[in-house]
Structure 1
Amino acid sequence: MYRACVEDLVISRRLRVPVDVEGDGTPGWGEVAARQLDAALLSVGFTCSPALLDRLARLPGEQVIDLGVRVLAAVRRLVGDHVVHNAYFVDFPRNVPDTLEFWAGLLREAMLDPVAAARLQPGTLNLLDLPRYGRYQHTYADLLAAHDELIPLAKDRVTVLELGGSLRDEARELYFSLAGSEVPLAAEDLTALRALAAFCAGDRPEHVPVRENRAVVNEVRLAAGQPLLVDTVTDVLRVAALCSEGDVTLSTPTRLRSFRRAERRILLAALDAVPAAKHGDVLRHREQWKRLGERLHPHEYPQFPSAAEVFDVARGVREAVSFGGRVEAALAGGRTGDAVALLEHTPGALLRRLDHLLRTGGGSAVLEAAERAAAHASGRVLLSLREHLQNRLAPVDRVFTNRHGKAWAIPDTRSPLDEEALTRTLAILDEEITRRLPDPGELIVDPAVLDVALPLSGKSAAPGLGVLPRGSLSPVDGELLRFFVYWRQAARSTDYDLSALMLDATYDNPTHISWTSYGNDFATYSGDLTDAAEGASEFIDIRLPHATQPIVIPQVHVYAGERFDEAAEAFFGYMTRDAVQEGRPFEPRTVRMKSDLRGSGRIALPLVFLRGDDGAWRVKWLHLYLSGHPAFNQVEGNRVTTSLLVRSIVERDHLRVGYLADLLRSKASAGGHVTYIGLETPPGLPEGARVYTPATLHELIPA
C-alpha cells in the first residue's frame, strides 16, 4: 500500500518517474510500449524526457505497460482529467441563452407539464423545483459529439517527466525535503510526509525545524521504540495526538488512545527532559493535557518527576506562568526593557514582536537586541519580518489568515515606525540573510520565476499542478481564459457555484458572472448544477481581448450541502487557449493550474487576474477562503469583502524569489557547481547542478 502511494507522490510532487530496474538493453517491445506511453501522456499535456524514454525502451514491455498505467493515472489526477467533465449547456461556450430567457423557458415547460406544475407552490418560484434545472440534460457522449477536436498549438502546456532513481532513493529525497522544510506544510503535505516517514522508517532526518513535521517523525520514532525529538512540552502532546489519528496542529481536541507501557515510558521520558521553565506552555492546551495524563499514568513512573509536574500544572495543583504571559505582563506595565530582556532568550519571539516593541518606545536598546537576535532566529522569521517591515514603508490594509486560509482585512491604524530605525532594521536583516545563503557557484535564474513569492508558509496552498505561493505573479497567455470547478458529493446533495467578480481599476463598479447572470460582452457561464452524486463541473469563459474590466476574481461558493473538506472530491483550476483551437469544455493539455479545494470556509478565492497598463494579463495567487453563510452563498452577497481582501493582497509588497536571487548573486563565485532557479527544470544542466523549482522553493529558505 505504501509503495503505490509513495510512487504516486514522487511522480506528482517531483515530476520524476522512479525506475528500480536497469533492463537488459535489448531494444524490442519495451521501446514500442515507451513510445505508446509518451503519446498517451501528450494527450494530457505531459511527455517523457529523452533519458526516461531511453530507460523505458530497455525494459521488458510488460514492465513498461505496468509502470505506464500508474504514471498516466498519476498525471491525469494531477491535471484533473481522471474524472468526466460534462457541462450543463451542451454547446458551451456557444449558444448559452440569456439568463431571463433561460428561466422563462424552464418555467414555461413546467407550467405545460401537469405533474411538474402541481409541484410548484403558489406565490413562490424556486428554481430547484423546475424539472430541468440544475441537472445534466445530455450525456458526456452528446457533449463530445457537439464539439470539434482541439487543434494543438505550440503554446499548449507540455510538462516534462524526468527519469528518477530507485523508488527508495526518490522517496528518501522527498521525505528529507518535506521533513526539513523551514516553513509549515499544507495539510496534504503533512499527510504525504506521514506516508513517506512510514516508507522510509529506517532513515532519520537530521534537521526537523517545524514542530508539526517533527511530530510526524516522532510518531515513527515512537513506533520504533526510539527517544523523541522534543524541546517543548507541546512537542509531546502533538505526537500523542498524531498517534491517536487526531489533529497534529492541536486546533481541535483529540480523543486520545491508550498507550502501551513502552510508549508511555518514551513519552514521559521526553516530557521529563523539558526544562521546568517551559511548563507554562501547558496552559495553552490544559484540557488536552488532562486527558493525556489519564492515558500515561505519570505517577506510576517515579523516575520521571518533572513529567509528573507537567500534569500537576494542567490540573492546577502547581502554578506556572507561560513565557508569553510574562512578556505580556511586562508590556502591559510599560516595562519594555523587561520584556526585551525576557524575549532575548527566544530570538524568534523577539523579532516577531519587533514592530510592537519599536512602537512602545524601546529605542536603540530594542534595535540592539534585534541585531543580536537576528543571528540566532530562523531564516523564515527573518524573511517574514523583512516582508512585514518593507510594507510598513507604505502601509496598506492589514490581512490576517489562519492555517485554513480563512482571511479578513482591517485598516492599518498602527502608528508609523521611525524611518531611521526601519532602514537600519532592514539592513540588519539583509546582511544576516545574505550571510546564511550558500555560495551558489554559477547562478542561473529563469526570469519567469522572479515574481514568484517566497513560500514563507505552505499551509494555505493545496499542492497541485502549477500552484504558486500566495502573492506570486505569473503571466497569462492566450485569448480565452476558462475557470473550472469539479465536485462530487459524499453523502448529501451538494451545490457549488462557480462565479466571477469583475472590477475596475479602483476595485469598484462591480459586475459578475454566475447562475444569476449567465453572460456579458466578454464572459460566459456554463450553467448551474445543483447535485453532484456522480460529479459535476462548471466553467466560466473569459475572452481576454474583449474584457472591459481589468480585475477578474473567480470564486467558488458552497450554496448548499457539504463543505469543501466534507465532499468526496473538489478542485478548481483554469485553462488558457486561443479561439481557433475549439475543443471540449475541458482539455487537459490546456490546463495551467489545478488544485484541491479544502478547508471549512464556504467561499474560495483561489486567485485574481489583473490587466496591466501594457494590456498584458497576469494572475496573482490568493489561496483565500471566506467563512460565508451556512448556505445560499452568492457572489452578490460578498463582493465588498472580496474587493477589500483582494485589494489588500494585490497591493501588498510580497517578498519574492527575485529578492533572494539578488542576494545570491552577491555571493556567487566561480566555483565548479551550478545553481538553477526556475519554473521547470531545463535540459542540459551539468551533472550535480542544484535545481530549485516551485516544488522545492521551500528549500531556498535558509535555516
Structure 2
Amino acid sequence: MDTLESLVIARRLRVPIDAPAAPTSGWGEVAARQLDAALLSVGFKCSAALLERLAGLPGETVVDLGVRVLAAVRHLVGDHIQHNVYFVEFPKNVPDNVEFWVGLLRQAMLDPVAAASVQPATLNLLALPGYGRYQHTYADLLAAHAELIPLAGDRVTVLELGASLEAEARELYFSLAGSEVPLSAEDLVALRSLAAFCAEEPERIPMRESRAVVNEVRLAAGRPLLVDTVTDVLRLACGCSGGDVTLATPTRFRSFSRSERRALLRALDAVASPAKLGDVSKHRERWKRLGERLHPGEHPQFPRAAHVFEVARGVRQARGLDSRVEAALSAGRTGEAVELLEKTPGALLRRLDHLLRSGTSASAVLEAAEKAAAGASGRVLLSLREHLQNRFTPAAGRVFANRHGRAWTTADTRSPIEENVVSRAVAILDEEITRRLPDPGTLIVAPEALDIALPLSGKAVAPGLGMLPRGSLSAVDGELLRFFVHWRQAERRTDYDLSALMLDASYGNPQHISWTSYHNAFAEYSGDLVDAADGASEFIDIRLAQAKRSIIIPQVNIYAGEAFDEAAEAFFGYMTRDAEQEGMPFEPRTVRMKSDLRGAGRVALPLVFLRGDDGAWRVKWLHLYLKGHPGFNQVEGNRVTASLLVRSIVERDHLRVRYLADLLRRKGSPGEHTTYIGLQAPADLPEGARVYTPGTLHELIPA
C-alpha cells in the first residue's frame, strides 16, 4: 500500500486520504501545519483543501501520513540522500587544475608509503592518494556553508487533496493503461503494480506493451487474454518470465505450468491466421525458445498455434507484409505496394514520405493516405504531421533515437517532394486530427505550456520532477544555474563524470568544464569522484549573466564501471538560484528538474540550455544517450557528435501544445465545461474542469 501511495503522490502530486474526518482536539491542525512547514523546506506545500482535510484528522494519523508524504517528495526531488562534494567550499575556492594536481603530488611525496609507489615513468594521476574520494564528512560540509536564504523565486510545488487510495490508484491505472503513446520502462513497472491492485480494467488498451502487462494479471487470474496478433502472445510470455515486453532485449523464458501453457497456446491458436504468421519471422529465435517451453506438440487441439512454431523453425513458409511491400517497391511497383499497405493504415502513413518519392502518381498516394487517415492511430497522425512540417527545413542532419534514447545522426539524402503535395498531406492530417479532438468547452491554456512538445512517445523519458517531453522548451529563471548528478554503485567501482560542453550560437568555439578543466570565468566544477560505494555527487555551477557562450550542454560520461541502468541509483537534475542565495551545494527547494538516468548509452545528454537573441535563457529537453566508448568517456572526445545531435534537435520544429490548442479553439466554443492545459492546475478552476498537466499530457493525444 505504501508503494502505491508513494506512486500516486509522485505521479499525480495528490495525497490520497481514506480516513473520514472526525472531531478532534485540535492536534490534527497543529500536525498539518507542521507538515506544511516541513514540506516547504523541500519546495512543496499543501493546497488549502489538503490542509483543511488534514486538520480534521487525528494528530497521530496526520503524523503517520506526513512521514510517508515527506519521504515520497524528498525522493522525487533527490533530497533522500546527503549530497557531499569533493571541494568542501564549492562553488568558492575551487582550485586551478595545475594547482590542484601539484598539491596532490606534493602530498603524495610527503607520505613515504605513497612516495614509494610514485614512479615518473608510470605515474597515474588518478591513483594518487586522496584523489576522487571525499576528504571531509557531511557535517564538515554543513559547517562550511550558510543556510539558504528563501526567496520568492524558489520552487513551490503544490500537493493537492486526493480521494481514497483505491480511487486514485484506479485513475492512474486507467490513465497509464489507456495511454495512446508507448510508456516508459518505469511506467510499465507502475502499470504492473496497479493492474494487480485494481479490480477494474479500462475498455481500451491501445499500446501492445501495456496490454502485455495487463495480460500478465489476467493470465494469473485465469481470465481470457487480450490478444489480436501472435506477437501479443510473445510479449506476454516475456513479461511472465520477468523479461522485456517491448522485445528490445532477449528474454530467458521460465518454465510455465500446464494451465499457463494451455492458456498461451489457446490465445495463440485464436490469432494465428495465415495472414498473421508473417509476423513470426521478426522474432524467429524467440519463438523457437518459447516453443521449447510451451510444448505445442502435446496439445493437438491447437493446430494453428503449432503453425507459429513451424514458421519459426522454417518448416512452414509465411511471408510478412513488410517483405511483400519491400519487394514491390524494389521492383518499382509502387501501386502494388500502396494496395498492400491499404490493409494496414498506420503502416501506409508511416511510409508516406517514401511512397511520395517513389515516382508514382502523388495524387494516387495522397488519395490512399486520405482513406488511411481515418483508420490510423492519433499518434501516427501527429508523428507524420511533425515529420512533414520539418520536410523543407534545412537541418544539420537527420536525427534518430531508439526506445532507449540512444541517438545518432545521418546526412539527409532524400529527394525533395513538391511543396503543394506536402501542403495537401498536411491539410488531410489536420482535418482528421481536428475531427478526433473532443469539444474543449471553455479552453484555458497557460502561456508556459504552449511550448511543451506533444508526448508522442514516453519510452526515452524517465518520470521525475519537472520532466517534459523531448523537444519541449521552458524558461530558465534565476541568475545561477547548477546541475548535478548522483550515483551509487551496485557491485563494482563506478566513476561517472559530470561535464558541460559550451558553444557559441553557431555551435562552434567549444569550451568545456569537467575534471580536466575545473573552472573558467563563469563556471566551477565541484570536483571529481571516482568511487561511489556509499554514493557520490558532482555539481557544475554557471553564472548565466557572465556566460561567454550561448549554448550549454550538460552531459554525464561513464568513465568506468556500471552502466546507468546497472547502478544501484543514478539521477541528474538542475537547480536555479538568485545571486544572493548561497546555501548548501544541494538545496531541494531550488531544484527545477530531477530524473533518473538510464539507457544503454555511455554518455547522457538530458537537456541543453540556450540563450536567445533577447538574452533570456531557455532549456530544451533532449533525453538522449550516446553510445560512447566502453570506458574512459570524456567531454572532449564526444564534442563533435554531441554538438551535431543537439543542433539537430534544437533546429527541429517539434509539434507542441500550441498546435493542439489552435485546433481545439477552432473546434470548440465556450460552454458549460472547462479544459485547462498548464504546468500545474490553479486553485480557482471551475468544478469538474478537465485538467492536463505534464503528468497527464499523454491523455491529450487523440485515439
TM-score scaled to structure 1, two decimals? 0.99
* Ranges in structure 1 where 5+ consecutive residues have no aligned partner: none
CA shift at 1:273, angstroms? 1.6
Summarize the alignment of residues 233-272 of structure 1 with structure 2, pairs less than 5 Å apart. 233-272=230-269
Q: Which residue pairs with 1:294 in the alignment?
A: 292
Secondary structure of the residue aligned to 1:661 is helix
What's the % identity of the aligned pairs? 78
Indicate if the aligned counterparts of 2:443 and 2:670 stay in contact, CA closer than 8 A.
no
Is 1:150 aligned to 2:148, yes or no?
A: yes
Native 8 Å contact 2:480 2:542 kept in 1: yes
Using the TM superposition, give the Cα deviation of residue 300 of structure 1 relative to its aligned residue in structure 2, in angstroms.
2.5
- Structure 2 residue matching 1:19: 3-state secondary structure: coil
For residues 601 and 458 of structure 1, the distance between their equivalents in structure 2, rounded to whole angstroms, comes to 17
1:611 corresponds to which letter in structure 2? R
Aligned to 1:370: 369
Shift of 1:27: 4.7
Give secondary structure in 2 for the equivalent of 1:594.
Answer: strand
Q: Is 1:530 aligned with 2:527?
A: no
Correspondence for 1:489: 489
- The corresponding residue for 1:600 is 600
Structure 2: gaps spanning 5 or more residues: none
Q: 2:407 matched to which residue of 1?
A: 407
What's the offset of the Cα at 1:271? 1.0
| Post-superposition CA distance 1:53-109 (Å, at most 9, x none) | 111111111111111111000000000000010011111000111111111111111
In the alignment, the residues of structure 1 paired with residue 25 and residue 407 of structure 2 have an alpha-carbon distance, to the nearest angstrom, of 57
Name 2:674's counterpart in structure 1. Answer: 674
Decide whether the 8 Å contact of 2:94 with 2:526 is kept in 1: yes
Counterpart of 2:639? 639
Q: 1:567: which partner in 2?
A: 567
Query: How far off its partner does 1:686 sit?
Result: 1.1
User: Where does residue 208 of structure 1 map in the other structure?
Assistant: 205
Q: Could you say which residue in structure 1 is the equivalent of 2:354?
A: 356
2:276 alignment partner, SS class: helix
Distance 1:260 1:643 in 2: 52
Give the match for residue 314 of structure 1.
312
Counterparts of 2:670 and 2:697, CA distance in 1: 24
Counterpart code for 1:388: H
**Conserved in 1, the CA contact under 8 Å of 2:274 and 2:318?**
no
Q: Which residue of 2 aligns with 1:56?
A: 54
Letter in 1 for 2:155: R
Asked if the contact 1:22–1:55 (Cα under 8 Å) also holds between the matched residues in 2, the reply is no
Output one character per residue of 1:488-516: Cα deviation in whole Å (capped at 9) or x when no partner.
11111111100000001110110000000
Structure 1 residue 124 displacement after superposition: 2.8
Counterparts of 1:590 and 1:496, CA distance in 2 = 23
Aligned: 1:7 with 2:16: no
Partner residue of 2:382?
Answer: 383
Equivalent in the alignment of 2:515: 515
Post-superposition CA distance 1:131-188 (Å, at most 9, x none): 1111111111111111111110011000000000000000000001000101011111
Separation in 2 of the partners of 1:118 and 1:561?
Answer: 28
* 1:130 equivalent in alignment to 2:128: yes
- What are the equivalent positions in structure 2 for 1:185-196 lying under 5 Å apart? 185-196=183-194
More displaced stretch, 343-352 vs 396-405: 396-405
Structure 1 contact 27–57 (Cα < 8 Å) conserved: no
Counterpart in the other structure of 1:556? 556
1:314 CA displacement: 1.1
- SS of 2:209's partner is helix
Q: Does the aligned pair in 2 maintain the 1:27–1:58 contact within 8 Å? A: no
Letter in 1 for 2:320: S
Distance 1:170 1:26 in 2: 26
SS at structure 1 position matched to 2:308:
helix
Distance 2:161 2:699 in 1: 21
Do structure 1's residue 326 and structure 2's residue 324 form an aligned pair? yes
Shift of 1:203: 1.1
Distance 1:25 1:210 in 2: 47
**Structure 1, 20-29 or 455-464: larger mean CA deviation:** 20-29
Query: Equivalent of 1:24, from 22, 29, 52?
Result: 22
Cα displacement string for residues 205-235 of structure 1 (whole angstroms, at most 9, x for unaligned residues): 2111110001001111111111111111000
Stretch moving more, 291-300 or 278-287: 291-300
Q: How many residues align?
A: 700
Give the equivalent residue in structure 1 for 2:214. 217
Alignment of 1:57-136 (within 5 A): 57-136=55-134
Alpha-carbon distance in structure 1 between the residues aligned to 2:466 and 2:541 = 20
Q: Distance in 2 between matches of 1:265 and 1:490?
A: 39
- In structure 2, what is the equivalent of residue 392 of structure 1? 391
Q: Deviations over 1:438-468 (max 9, x none)?
A: 0000000000000000000001111000010
The residue type paired with residue 265 of structure 2 is L
Amino acid across the alignment from 2:549: Q
Tell me which stretches of 4 or more aligned residues in structure 1 moved more than 2 Å. 299-303
Please identify, of 311-320 and 601-610, the stretch whose mean Cα deviation from structure 2 is larger.
Answer: 311-320
Residues in 2 aligned to 1:295 and 1:130: alpha-carbon distance in whole angstroms? 54
1:276 aligns with 2:274: yes
1:282-317 per-residue CA deviation (whole Å, 9 max, x = no partner) reads 111111111211222223223222111111111111
State the Cα distance separating 1:411 from its structure 2 match: 1.4
Q: Distance in 2 between matches of 1:511 and 1:427?
A: 44
Q: CA offsets, 1:304-336, max 9 Å, x none?
A: 221111111111111101111111111111110
Q: Quick one: which amino acid aligns to residue 265 of structure 1?
A: R
Q: CA separation in 1, counterparts of 2:525 and 2:651? A: 29
Deviations 1:603-654 (A, max 9, x none): 0000000000000000000000001111110000000000000000000000
Distance 1:112 1:675 in 2: 70
Alpha-carbon deviation of 1:586? 0.3
Amino acid at match of 2:43: G
Shift in Å at residue 128 of structure 1?
2.1
Give, in whole Å, the separation in 2 of the partners of 1:50 and 1:27. Answer: 20
Per-residue deviation, residues 393-437 of structure 1 (Å, max 9, x unmatched): 214210011111110111111111111110000000001000000
> 274-283 or 620-629, which moves further after superposition?
274-283
Whole-angstrom CA distance in 2 between matches of 1:129 and 1:264: 56
More displaced stretch, 60-69 vs 23-32: 23-32
Matching residue of 2:445: 445
Contact 2:484 2:574 in 1 (8 A): yes
Cα distance in structure 2, aligned partners of 1:301 and 1:561? 48
Give the superposed CA RMSD. 0.9
Cα distance in 1 for partners of 2:285, 2:406 equals 26
